[in-house]
Amino acid sequence: HDGPVNMVATISTGLARMVVYALLALAFSEMAALCKDLTVWLADGRDATPFQGMVSDRLNRAGWYLIVAPIVSWLARAATGAYG
């Protein structure tokens, strides 16, 4: 590459990647916590269902993290003119 480096594009791309990675880490963290909670529930042998507020809240948060991650990436690319 012989031309000058576009610093705005470079910085915004780096920040967008950090946000996407953070959102993916949060989503996987929610899934890991959900698995831990279900394992504890199974070990306790409870008769009540584990699919109550705790499970739906964790799945809801993880879903939103996974929805927002590609949107952040798309917005960063659109803002830097990477689409043309």
Q: What per-residue confidence (pLDDT) applies to 49?
A: 72
Report field, pTM of the whole predicted structure over 0.95: no
Give φ, ψ of 6 to 5 degrees. -80, 100
Per-residue pLDDT band for 73 (boundaries 50, 70, 90) equals confident
Round to whole Å and give the CA distance between 14 and 16.
Answer: 5
Per the CB < 8 A criterion, the answer to whether 23 and 69 are in contact is: yes
User: Which residues, other chains included, contact 38 with Cβ-Cβ below 8 Å and sequence gap of 6+?
Assistant: 50, 55
Q: What per-residue confidence (pLDDT) applies to 7?
A: 84
Tell me the per-residue pLDDT of 13-42, one tens digit each, with 9 for 90 and over. Answer: 888 899 999 999 999 999 999 888 888 888
Torsion 18-23-26-32 (CA) sign: negative
